[in-house]
Amino acid sequence: MRWVEEAKKAETRAARIARAVEALHEGKGAR
């Protein structure tokens, strides 16, 4: 069941990246 853990890690990483991108966009808009 290793592929399940890998998939979860990938999802978490993607969500983290998406959140970081949103934060960057918000930061630029706030200036």
**Within a 13 Å sphere around the CA of 18, how many CA atoms are in the beta-carbon half?**
6
- The answer on pLDDT for 31 being more than 80 is no
pLDDT of residue 1: 80
- Name the pTM for this structure: 0.61
Per-residue model confidence (pLDDT) at position 28? 80
Secondary structure, 3-state, 1-31: CHHHHHHHHHHHHHHHHHHHHHHHHHHHHHC
pLDDT tens, residue by residue, 1-26: 898 999 999 999 999 999 999 999 98
> In whole angstroms, what is the distance from residue 31 CA to residue 26 CA?
9
- Look at residue 30 and tell me whether its pLDDT is greater than 80: no
